[in-house]
């Protein structure tokens, strides 16, 4: 619950907003869904509304897709479906929360917050997305570095996410949840850069694990330089080891078991898409 | 045959609902209103040694704090049942012993909700924690006694033993089970578990109160039982019934969850003491933890049968987790037997034993299905097992062994609601046709054979189809009472006042249709007022599948009485004898030798104008009450097709066919809607819904998202087909439909699972981890 | 403080606190057709259209949508002049208790604006933020289907 004494700021320039974040007790307000989660927020003094910064864009320059941090999940899903581009993002994000929430949840907020149930991170990481931030440290970083380093905890504003769109990439995502509205238990995304039917590079990420995020490096290695086969998929799956946290609905061992099944399903789908 | 009945008339409040005009409890606000917040216990079992509310009272804007320190401890039951209630008197409004996480510690009334909430944090409570009972299978005879020295007692003469944590006990036997079981060539014994569940009515529980111009207390409440609210508030808040008016506005769903008097006495006390309006609206978390739930159950079935499948002996033992208080403990338990065992009425030796036990967990209560849902999980599988073992075709088995028209079951008399039941002969059933039609619509024979054969061999996703036959009841015989009042207006319209409580089911419309049919007058001519204790006659309330059957009958009687008066005035005006006139399209017409004389007719408007203003003046009006000597069961057959992913344990429903005998469906679309809603709630309960507790008894999944509510996305294709019968004791042949269809999903899906995998499910919900463990057993 | 919004095409200045949700502000100002079912963004009873897009008003801080266009269910049709979708809901038995109806109708309205001929799957996705415990969604999905077809007919006749 926010105190009723909070101050609102409505900057119109990114630089203005970036300055404000250094103030004590200030949080950025994108769509506001995170801020309204039930938790004590008595230390919050001000909210910086960043909707007027002009960051709610999705644009393409050359082969780079720029997703402004103010773009909502709904914006990304609509764009991706409409243009039939980066469909792994619409496949994943259309399962996130619900229609009215997807109209409020922003890419920037979800990137910065990185909840356990995120189904934004895994596909973006598989696509080797970059992130443009401004704040204590400014610049363009790989999303993987951002997510796994103290960067994510630093005071900053996300300007945009960049994804290089390559036509030789085959990607996919699998989300485990039992009913539609439930928070995803885990999300697995994979992107394979293909040289005809040979995997030149593979990036496979799982979110929802104990460490929040894990890259399946050994599995990626199994595929590199080979064409994907059922044998290869099985052998890669056997090398996958995932540590989950048990919750009241599912045990850790069960989650790992299903994650492996989904891993195989995902790679098999990618294999099929190559044919 | 019918003109207004058996027609899908649009709900009379429909457009007002979908345009947002209608008001629910929380939509009423009054000047100078206080907002009430409740402090709930964070411990499952604790004695409050002291409450210090001085800091809260000192806050600007705090007006009143209610706790055991300033509210008299009057024992009562929160269950909104007829008087004397069959539930034990084991609750007080504010006690000094907390019996579950979520129990009421105190209430704060303040100028704003924010102040009231902030004040809760300032109330200092000194607890002495006690060792809780968090496992209902260990409650009976535990060293922890949950109701100790609090004076809890049963209001009616039934077995009750708080010293052993027994809130309710029901036993009945027909024939000699032990003997017949011992002699049976084949025997099975299985144990089944079903979990807690929340009703999840979209509207949270709410109550608003104020004093009217003459100082009477008015309570607007989201309740299924306005007259029980009036009676219980009177007792607990010590305000005479004559000083209380309870109004039920539109209700945002009940399903049994609002058959409970929880919030009303609190706002009543605040208003009575402060003379100011007061509002209390529960948060969703409070609805999950502090209102009422479906009882958790363990059922054990022992069945002895012959090689041809004939069952000689059946024993159903039920253990019910009543939670911290015994609300509905006895009656839900009795219904676990009385709504299942009569179905296969040819079994000669039947035994039912059940105990409802206290634990330090959330409190059970009324929930659509009311014990039957809990018991059908096992009952429906047991029949499938017997058929499987003896090579019987389950469809033919049900057709042969289920209760038929003209037959009875001794269970009707043996199991009542806190007393002996009422013997009854079933006079309407189309169950065999339901089974026949359902088998056809679901492709039962082809699919059962296909999936039982090689179809699933070597496949990861295995398919199966299962079926189950069901029954429920219609009202509580010789206990429930409904009444209606009607008066005629000068334009030939009618005011229809009923105590019956429309929760969103459409009962206001259904009751208007019944009056329409009697008076051959369009539905829009009836102005329905329901559930205002000042303005409508008594009705026990909307529960036990009673409204259409029981309140509908009261309306029919009432309309018939009005009709007689209209005929009398009409005949008089037409100067003919009463035997020569009849009612037709809002007129009284003369009919001689079966022929209508078109020159001799008088309209309802003319009749009423005459009676109000001109000749032998009187108000055409009537009142009628109805109590039923029986509770005719509706019947249903459900056919469910599933696919199970044997790698993950995820069960996906492919198709759901339900054929339902509710007698005459007064409004078929509304009746279908009742069935569809119940089916989806049943599916959710079978597959996903559960209460997960921390080791400290704290509910962990107390939000819709964590609980796992289904959306339009999660629904399989559902076909509901109404297969009419005609129930002589019901209005225009009607029986009930609201509850029965929640009972099918548990056994139906489990039977389909067996068809797919050859394994049995004994524990609900069928979460994938459990399902996978069963597959890999 | 007073902040101005355009609610159902009418400019209105509403009194609010800086930490208040849009849901609270609307209901406090008499727009009780916006229902409160969970205040956690999970039930959709409080759904309104914000510049034409469905949002849960309990998940929106009112200050963040200053001077925006807000549409409640009364903004698309009223008792005396109901929208085709509202008629389809009432006629098709898609309304039982009606508590989810204002939000559900708006979600359907928004869906049909974007997609006049949705498949059942698309209807389900469009309504995935609106819970209903009464109907089992069967008649709701049917009503949206029915309304879509009527709206298409109306449009083709107008052309």
Quick one: pLDDT at residue A275? 73
Q: Where are the alpha helices (DSSP H) in A84-155?
A: 87-93, 99-102, 107-113, 121-126, 143-148
Name every chain A residue with its beta carbon within 8 A of the beta carbon of B700: 248
- Indicate the average pLDDT of chain A: 95
Contact (CB<8Å) B669/C93:
yes
Q: Domain limits at B87? A: 25-130+205-281
Residue % of chain A over a pLDDT of 70 = 100
Quick one: pLDDT at residue B398? 98
Give B595's pLDDT tier (boundaries 50, 70, 90). low
Name every chain C residue with its beta carbon within 8 A of the beta carbon of A51: 64
Average pLDDT over residues B190-213: 98
Domain count, chain B: 3
The contacts of residue A238 (CB under 8 Å, 6+ apart) are none
Residue after which a domain boundary falls, among B627, B654, B684: B627
Domain count, chain C: 2
The contacts of residue B463 (CB under 8 Å, 6+ apart) are B447, B451, B455, B456, B641, B642, B643, B644, B654, B756
Average pLDDT over residues B507-532: 98
Same domain, C130 and C153: yes
Say if residue C158's pLDDT is above 90.
Answer: no
Q: What is the dihedral of CA C59, C61, C67, C68, to 10 degrees?
A: -10
Q: Give the CATH number of the domain where residue B41 resides.
A: 3.90.1170.50
Dihedral-angle region of residue B733 (phi above 0 means left; psi in -120 to 50 means alpha; beta otherwise) = left
Q: Are strands B278-281 and B244-247 parallel, antiparallel or unpaired?
A: unpaired
Is the four-CA dihedral B89, B93, B95, B99 of positive or negative sign? positive
Nearest residue of A to residue C126, measured between CA atoms: A99
Counting as contact any 3 or more CB pairs under 8 A, the partners of C are: A, B
Q: Are strands A7-9 and A46-49 parallel, antiparallel or unpaired?
A: parallel
DSSP annotation of A5: T
Q: Give the CATH number of the domain where residue B539 resides.
A: 3.30.365.10
Say if residue A180's pLDDT is above 90.
Answer: no
Residue B160 has phi, psi (to 5 degrees) of -155, 125
State the number of CA atoms in the 13 A half-sphere of B280 facing the CB: 24
B54: exposed, middle or buried (Cβ count in 10 Å: 0-12, 13-18, 19+) = exposed
Q: Domain limits at C139? A: 84-158
Residue after which a domain boundary falls, among B225, B258, B281: B281
Alpha-carbon span A135 to A265, nearest angstrom: 40
Counting as contact any 3 or more CB pairs under 8 A, the partners of A are: B, C
Counting as contact any 3 or more CB pairs under 8 A, the partners of B are: A, C
Contact (CB<8Å) A181/B711:
yes
Instruction: Kindly report, residue by residue over A31-88, the tens digit of the pLDDT.
Output: 999 999 888 888 999 999 999 999 999 999 999 999 999 999 999 999 999 999 999 9
Contact (CB<8Å) B713/A249:
no
Alpha-carbon span C104 to C24, nearest angstrom: 19
**HEC profile of A221-258:** HHHCCCCCCHHHHHHHHHHCCCCCCCCCCCCHHHHHHH
Residue after which a domain boundary falls, among C27, C53, C75: C75
Find out whether A136 and A156 touch, Cβ atoms under 8 Å: yes
Dihedral-angle region of residue B90 (phi above 0 means left; psi in -120 to 50 means alpha; beta otherwise) = alpha
Residue after which a domain boundary falls, among C75, C95, C130: C75
Contact (CB<8Å) C140/B712:
yes
Same domain, C92 and C57: no
DSSP track, B212-226: -TTS-EEEEE--S-H
Say if residue C136's pLDDT is above 90.
Answer: yes
Same domain, B257 and B309: no
| Closest approach of B140 to chain A, Cα-based (Å) | 26
Is A251's Cβ below 8 Å from some Cβ in B? yes
State the number of CA atoms in the 13 A half-sphere of B260 facing the CB: 29
Instruction: Kindly report, residue by residue over B746-773, the tens digit of the pLDDT.
Output: 999 999 999 999 999 999 999 999 999 9
Same domain, B444 and B533: no
Give B597's pLDDT tier (boundaries 50, 70, 90). low
Alpha-carbon span A165 to A144, nearest angstrom: 17
Contact (CB<8Å) A6/C125:
no
Name every chain A residue with its beta carbon within 8 A of the beta carbon of B706: 182-183
Residue B556 has phi, psi (to 5 degrees) of -65, -45
Please state whether the predicted TM-score (pTM) of the whole model is above 0.90: yes
Residues 173-232 of A with CB under 8 A from C: 180-181
Quick one: pLDDT at residue C83? 98
Instruction: Kindly report, residue by residue over B226-270, the tens digit of the pLDDT.
Output: 999 999 999 999 999 999 999 999 999 999 999 999 999 999 999
Same domain, C68 and C95: no
Give A182's pLDDT tier (boundaries 50, 70, 90). confident
Q: Give the CATH number of the domain where residue C141 resides.
A: 1.10.150.120
Instruction: Kindly report, residue by residue over B138-172, the tens digit of the pLDDT.
Output: 999 999 999 999 999 999 999 999 999 999 999 99
Find out whether C37 and B284 touch, Cβ atoms under 8 Å: yes
Instruction: Kindly report, residue by residue over C13-53, the tens digit of the pLDDT.
Output: 999 999 999 999 999 999 999 999 999 999 999 999 999 99
Q: Give the CATH number of the domain where residue C21 resides.
A: 3.10.20.30
Give A212's pLDDT tier (boundaries 50, 70, 90). very high
Same domain, C69 and C88: no
Alpha carbon distances (Å) from B373 to A35, B335, B471, B661 = 41, 10, 10, 18
Residue after which a domain boundary falls, among B239, B257, B281: B281
| Residue B136 located in a structural domain | no
Alpha-carbon span B342 to B334, nearest angstrom: 13
Same domain, B98 and B243: yes
Dihedral-angle region of residue B570 (phi above 0 means left; psi in -120 to 50 means alpha; beta otherwise) = alpha
Alpha-carbon span B30 to B207, nearest angstrom: 13
**Six token digits for residue C101:** 């109806």
Name every chain B residue with its beta carbon within 8 A of the beta carbon of A98: 711
Contact (CB<8Å) C137/B715:
yes
Find out whether B477 and B632 touch, Cβ atoms under 8 Å: no
């Amino acid at each position: 619950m926010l105190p009723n004494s909070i101050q609102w700021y409505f900057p119109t320039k990114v630089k203005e907003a970036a300055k404000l974040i250094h103030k004590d007790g200030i949080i950025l307000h994108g769509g506001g869904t995170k801020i309204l989660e039930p938790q004590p927020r008595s230390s919050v003094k001000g909210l910086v509304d960043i909707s007027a910064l002009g960051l709610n864009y999705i644009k393409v320059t050359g082969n780079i897709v720029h997703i402004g941090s103010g773009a909502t999940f709904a914006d990304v899903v609509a764009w991706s479906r409409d243009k039939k581009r980066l469909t792994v993002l619409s496949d994943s994000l259309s399962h996130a929360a619900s229609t009215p929430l997807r109209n409020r949840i922003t890419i920037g907020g979800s990137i910065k917050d990185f909840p356990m149930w995120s189904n934004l991170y895994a596909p973006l990481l598989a696509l080797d997305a970059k992130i443009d931030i401004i704040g204590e440290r400014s610049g363009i970083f790989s999303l993987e570095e951002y997510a796994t380093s103290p960067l994510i905890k630093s005071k900053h504003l996300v300007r945009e996410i960049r994804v290089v769109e390559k036509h030789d990439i085959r990607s996919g995502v699998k989300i485990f949840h039992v009913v539609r509205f439930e928070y995803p238990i885990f999300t697995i995304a994979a992107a394979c850069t293909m040289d005809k039917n040979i995997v030149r590079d593979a990036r496979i990420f799982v979110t929802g694990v104990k460490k929040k995020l894990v890259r399946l490096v050994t599995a990626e290695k199994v595929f590199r330089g080979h064409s994907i086969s059922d044998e290869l998929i099985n052998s890669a799956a056997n090398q996958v080891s995932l540590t989950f946290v048990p919750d009241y609905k599912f045990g850790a061992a069960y989650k790992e078991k299903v994650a492996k099944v989904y891993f195989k399903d995902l790679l098999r789908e990618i294999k099929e898409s190559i044919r | 045959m019918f003109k207004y009945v058996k027609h899908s008339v649009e709900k009379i409040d429909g457009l007002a609902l979908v345009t947002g005009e209608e008001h629910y409890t929380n939509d009423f606000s009054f000047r100078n209103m206080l907002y009430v917040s409740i402090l709930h216990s964070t411990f499952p079992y604790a004695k409050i040694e002291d409450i210090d509310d001085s800091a809260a009272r000192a806050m600007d804007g705090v007006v009143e704090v209610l706790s055991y320190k300033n509210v008299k401890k009057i024992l009562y039951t929160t269950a909104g049942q007829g008087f004397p209630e069959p539930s034990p008197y084991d609750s007080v409004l504010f006690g000094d012993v907390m019996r579950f996480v979520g129990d009421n510690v105190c209430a704060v009334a303040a100028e704003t909700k924010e102040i009231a909430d902030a004040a809760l944090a300032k109330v200092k409570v000194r607890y002495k924690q006690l060792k809780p009972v968090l496992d209902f299978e260990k409650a009976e005879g535990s060293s922890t006694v949950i109701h100790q020295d609090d004076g809890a007692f049963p209001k009616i003469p039934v077995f009750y033993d708080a010293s052993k944590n027994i809130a309710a006990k029901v036993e009945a036997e027909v024939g000699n089970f032990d003997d017949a079981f011992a002699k049976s060539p084949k025997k099975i014994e299985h144990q089944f578990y079903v979990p807690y569940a929340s009703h999840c009515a979209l509207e949270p529980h709410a109550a608003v109160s104020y004093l009217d111009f003459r100082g009477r207390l008015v309570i607007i409440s989201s309740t299924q039982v306005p007259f029980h609210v009036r009676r219980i508030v009177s007792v607990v808040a010590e305000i005479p019934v004559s000083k209380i008016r309870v109004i039920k506005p539109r209700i945002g769903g009940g399903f049994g969850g609002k058959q409970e008097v929880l919030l009303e006495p609190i706002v009543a006390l605040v208003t009575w003491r402060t003379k100011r309006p007061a509002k209390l609206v529960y948060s969703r978390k409070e609805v999950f933890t502090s209102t009422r739930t479906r009882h958790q159950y363990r059922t054990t079935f022992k069945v002895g049968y012959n090689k041809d499948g004939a069952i000689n002996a059946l024993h159903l033992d039920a253990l019910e987790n009543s939670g911290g208080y015994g609300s509905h403990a006895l009656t839900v338990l009795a219904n676990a037997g009385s709504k299942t065992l009569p179905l296969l009425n040819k079994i000669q030796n039947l035994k039912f034993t059940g105990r409802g036990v206290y634990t330090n967990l959330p409190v059970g209560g009324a929930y659509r299905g009311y014990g039957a849902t809990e018991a059908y999980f096992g009952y429906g599988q047991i029949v499938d097992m017997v058929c499987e073992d003896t090579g019987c075709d389950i469809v033919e088995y049900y057709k042969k062994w289920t209760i038929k028209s003209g037959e009875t079951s001794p269970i009707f008399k043996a199991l009542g609601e806190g007393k002996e039941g009422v013997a009854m002969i079933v006079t309407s059933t189309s169950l065999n046709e339901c089974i026949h039609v359902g088998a056809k619509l679901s492709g039962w024979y082809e699919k059962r054979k296909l999936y039982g054969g090689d179809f699933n061999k070597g496949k990861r996703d295995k398919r199966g189809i299962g079926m189950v036959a069901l029954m429920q009841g219609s009202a509580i015989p010789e206990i429930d009472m409904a009444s209606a009042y009607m008066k005629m207006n000068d334009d030939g319209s009618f005011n229809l006042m009923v105590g019956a409580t429309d929760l969103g089911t459409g009962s206001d419309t259904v009751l208007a249709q019944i009056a329409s049919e009697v008076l051959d007058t369009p539905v829009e001519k009836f102005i329905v007022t329901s559930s205002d204790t000042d303005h409508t006659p008594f009705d026990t309330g909307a529960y036990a599948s009673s409204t259409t059957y029981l309140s509908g009958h009261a309306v029919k009687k009432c309309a018939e009485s009005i009709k007689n008066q209209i005929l009398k005035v009409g005949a008089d005006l037409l100067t003919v004898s009463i035997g020569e006139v009849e009612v037709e399209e809002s007129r009284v017409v003369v009919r001689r030798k079966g022929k209508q004389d078109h020159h001799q007719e008088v309209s309802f408007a003319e009749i009423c104008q005459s009676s109000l203003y001109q000749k032998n003046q009187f108000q055409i009006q009537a009142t009628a009450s109805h109590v039923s000597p029986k509770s005719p069961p509706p019947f249903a057959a459900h056919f469910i097709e599933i696919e199970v992913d044997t790698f993950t344990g995820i069960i996906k429903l492919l198709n759901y066919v339900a054929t339902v005998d509710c007698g005459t469906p007064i409004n078929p679309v509304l009746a279908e809607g009742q069935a569809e809603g119940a089916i989806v709630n049943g599916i959710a309960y079978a597959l996903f819904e559960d209460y997960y507790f921390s080791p400290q008894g704290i509910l962990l999944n107390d939000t819709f998202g964590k609980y796992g509510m289904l959306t339009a996305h999660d629904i399989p294709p559902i076909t509901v087909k109404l297969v009419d019968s005609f129930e002589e004791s019901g209005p225009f042949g009607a029986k009930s439909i609201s509850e029965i269809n929640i009972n099918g999903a548990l056994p139906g899906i489990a039977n389909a699972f067996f068809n797919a995998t050859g394994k049995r499910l004994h524990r609900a919900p069928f979460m994938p981890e459990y399902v996978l463990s069963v597959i890999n057993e | 403080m007073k902040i101005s919004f355009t609610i159902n095409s009418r400019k209105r200045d509403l009194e609010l606190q800086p930490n208040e949700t849009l849901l609270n502000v609307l209901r406090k100002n008499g727009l009780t057709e916006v229902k409160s079912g969970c205040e956690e963004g999970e039930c959709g009873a409080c759904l309104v259209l914000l510049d034409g897009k469905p949002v849960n008003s309990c998940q929106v801080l009112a200050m963040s949508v200053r001077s925006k266009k807000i549409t409640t269910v009364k903004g698309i049709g009223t008792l005396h002049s109901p929208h085709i979708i509202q008629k389809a809901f009432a006629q098709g038995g898609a309304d039982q208790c009606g508590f989810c109806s204002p939000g559900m109708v708006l979600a359907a309205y928004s869906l049909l604006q974007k997609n006049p001929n949705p498949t059942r799957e698309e209807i389900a996705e469009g309504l995935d933020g609106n819970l209903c415990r009464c109907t089992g969604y069967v008649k709701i999905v049917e009503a949206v289907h029915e309304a879509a077809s009527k709206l298409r007919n109306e449009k083709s006749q107008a052309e």
